[in-house]
Structure 1
Amino acid sequence: MAPQVSPGHRKAWTRSTYRGIENLLFPSFGPDLQTLDEDAIRRDVRFAIANGCFSTLFASLGHPVDVAIRALEVACEEASDQILVGTFTEYATVEDNLALVKGAAAVGCSHMLIMYPPAMTPKSEDEVYTYLHNLIAATDIGIVLYAAPHKGIAKFSSSPSGVALDVLDKLAGLPTVSGQKLTQTIDPILARECCVRFGDRLTINCVAPELMPLLGREFDLQWSGEWSIEGVQSPDKPFLGRYVGLIAKKDFEAAEALYWKFYPAYKLFSDFQIPKLKIGSHPWQHLKYYQWLTGGNGGLASVKGQTPEQIGILTAADRQAIRQTFKSIGVKITNALDDEFIVGVENARRGVKASEFLDRPYYE
């Protein structure tokens, strides 16, 4: 369960607490790809702790809100006081997102990444502000803003970047708004502008390792999160955790030397990730595979409301490339066959076979 933090202390608490790395937590299921595997959720929370994460952020992958809230409840129970648990407003309707915000607070989450739904087309920045403000006002947990372009906002945004920076600026003054996420594909000039505008009020969360030495020379960076950090590290080789620590201490020479050690893995990860980010999605099956290889539960990603074109297909060639790249940088990976990934470690322990998974979305 997250510590009780009053709204007036949220910004200061976030700055003192959100240090290091934060990974993503995905749901795992039985052979029907609908029945939540709660043991798998618990295993992946322990895996995040083993990776040195200060927090794990749950992504429901479009499954119903009640499934997401139950998964968050299990995660918070397993996390106890060892790691924070957050989530994000990924649903298409305000009703679902409000239900998620309230449910997440009730079960013990510490924070929420909020964003304007990609499928919605607002008529003004005031409409965007009202939507996001209503979500923020529905809870006292910490709020992380997301500096990502939105096609529907770009036509009237005061910023050529397509990000509603003036809206984010107003929201940043609210007491529970305490973080700002700079995603992997962010334009470097926009990233710096966000640091200038928000860095004194919000704790900056920089996803892209390649930007951290550049921004870190001018601003304080201490957090890289809400992404699949397992793409570049494992519990036995915590490259990213060490890297972020060096950036926070402003030891850029050591950080840059370390960057090149995990760069081959980061390059491959980015090759899978960036094309999907640019169309508003993620290669979810690949991300689950990364986690499984390095000690997580695995299990096929079941994603609601997105097409194979949006997510991509995890092919045998992709799996082999990931394995080989990990070996090249000294990351230990499982010796299990990919059939265990299909079912997930906890299902495999219960005797579930890959042949029981008749539907294998985004996998070949």
Structure 2
Amino acid sequence: MASYQRSDARAWAREHLVGCSAVTIPSYSADLSRLNQRGIRHDIELAKQLGYTYTLLCAEVAITPEENAQFTSLAREAGGKDLGLFFHAAFGTLAENIQAVKLAERAGADIVLLSYPPQFWPTTEQEIYDYTKAFCDATDLAVMLFPIPLWGFERVHPAGMSVELVRRLLKDCPNIVAIKSEQGFPLPAGICEMYHHFRDEVVISCPIEGDAIPLMSLMKLQFSGTSNTQWMSDYYPRAFELARQGEWEAAMALYWQVNPARSANGAAAQSYAGGTGVLNRTMWKYQDWLAGFNGGPLRAPAMRIPDRFMKPLRQGLVASGLPVTDDPDSQFMVGRFPC
């Protein structure tokens, strides 16, 4: 259960939604029939050790609502009370997302990242409003709104979610406490616009570390998430905290140090999945495995990660002076804690 009342969710977020969020992709048994509890616990403990204050429990990996609740419970046990847990509202329908969030709330989730199903095909802002409000009304958890071109809402408004729509949702959904601002991605227009209009009402998050650190020379950001930055080990929590405390030049020194890894990640993501609206979670899990996380197989349908992307990602970490495993890539699908 949440540690705050629904009516106090925004005050809670202003005080507690601080730092950086990792993304934890669940680990499965070798036959994919069940969760790999040891692998999950390892990944949660390592994210916390690296300095992350939150993690998103990724649900875009063929997991059931009941398994997701078990995933949440395992993460709560491994992370303790001081690691915040994001429920990922990424199930197939509004009804299933509501079912899953109620289970996750009881299992220990702290906050929601609100996604939209692939078959949700709105043609008006009212439809986007109705879905969002129905979900927010169904949970006592704080909710992070997530405008991004992945949803295809640009058929309704060029920004996907207009300022007017966001303002209406903030007025009518008091448990919306933050905005993961990616309208117009990969351009920074969304974060700039949301910060300009709503920074005094809710927490504004720039999840893209390549944008967040430079923008913190101009913006007071308290939280960044959720994205796959943990594959660069403790770099991002360190750099973000330096920038947040006013040591921006020191943060930028770290920023440029890891630019080879950042560039390799950008090239792989664009070449492999650019324009599809699908994130390659297998690639994310491989990147994490390089940094010491569990790795292991994912359930179908899952994208592949071929050698031509594995090698540059590994070398990007080497060139950045970041931790990277010596284990051969053949061990990735086995995982560090096979089950």
Is TM (by shorter chain) over 0.5? Answer: yes
> How do 1:90-129 and structure 2 match up within 5 A?
90-129=90-129
> How do 1:44-123 and structure 2 match up within 5 A?
44-60=43-59, 61-123=61-123
Contact 1:143–1:177, Cα closer than 8 Å, also in 2: yes
**CA distance in 2 between partners of 1:218 and 1:162 (Å):** 25
Contact 2:24–2:58, Cα closer than 8 Å, also in 1: yes
**Residues 86-140 of structure 1: CA distance to partner in whole angstroms, max 9, x if unpaired?**
1221122112111111111111100001133232212421121111111111111
The counterpart of 1:161, out of the listed 147, 159, 162, is 159
**CA distance in 1 between partners of 2:96 and 2:21 (Å):** 25
SS in 2 for 1:345: coil
Cα pair distance change 1:274/1:320, threshold 3 Å = closer
Q: Give unmatched runs, 5+ long, in structure 2.
A: none
**CA distance in 1 between partners of 2:318 and 2:297 (Å):** 23
- Asked if residue 27 in structure 1 is aligned to residue 26 in structure 2, the reply is yes
After TM superposition, the runs of 4+ consecutive aligned structure 1 residues lying more than 6 A away are none
Q: Alpha-carbon deviation of 1:164?
A: 4.1
**CA distance in 1 between partners of 2:159 and 2:108 (Å):** 35
C-alpha root-mean-square deviation of aligned residues, in Å? 2.1
- Asked if residue 246 in structure 1 is aligned to residue 242 in structure 2, the reply is yes
Residue in 2 that maps onto 1:356: none
> How do 1:342-357 and structure 2 match up within 5 A?
342-347=333-338
Contact 2:76–2:85, Cα closer than 8 Å, also in 1: yes
Contact 2:143–2:177, Cα closer than 8 Å, also in 1: yes
Residue in 1 that maps onto 2:266: 270
Cα pair distance change 1:148/1:6, threshold 3 Å = same
Number of residues of Structure 1 aligned to a counterpart in Structure 2:
335
> How do 1:311-330 and structure 2 match up within 5 A?
311=303, 313-330=304-321
**Residues 13-67 of structure 1: CA distance to partner in whole angstroms, max 9, x if unpaired?**
2122222211111111122223211111111110111111001111121322222
**CA distance in 1 between partners of 2:9 and 2:217 (Å):** 26
Cα pair distance change 1:318/1:277, threshold 3 Å = closer
SS in 2 for 1:179: strand
Residue in 2 that maps onto 1:286: 283
**CA distance in 2 between partners of 1:94 and 1:149 (Å):** 19
Q: Alpha-carbon deviation of 1:283?
A: 1.7
SS in 2 for 1:219: coil
Q: Give unmatched runs, 5+ long, in structure 1.
A: 351-364
State the TM-score, normalized to the length of structure 2: 0.91
**CA distance in 2 between partners of 1:53 and 1:151 (Å):** 27
SS in 1 for 2:160: coil
**CA distance in 2 between partners of 1:277 and 1:222 (Å):** 30
The worse-fitting range, judged by mean Cα deviation, of 131-140 and 266-275 is: 266-275
**Residues 208-262 of structure 1: CA distance to partner in whole angstroms, max 9, x if unpaired?**
223225543443212221111123x21xxx2111211122123332222221011
Contact 1:49–1:82, Cα closer than 8 Å, also in 2: no
Residue in 2 that maps onto 1:336: 327
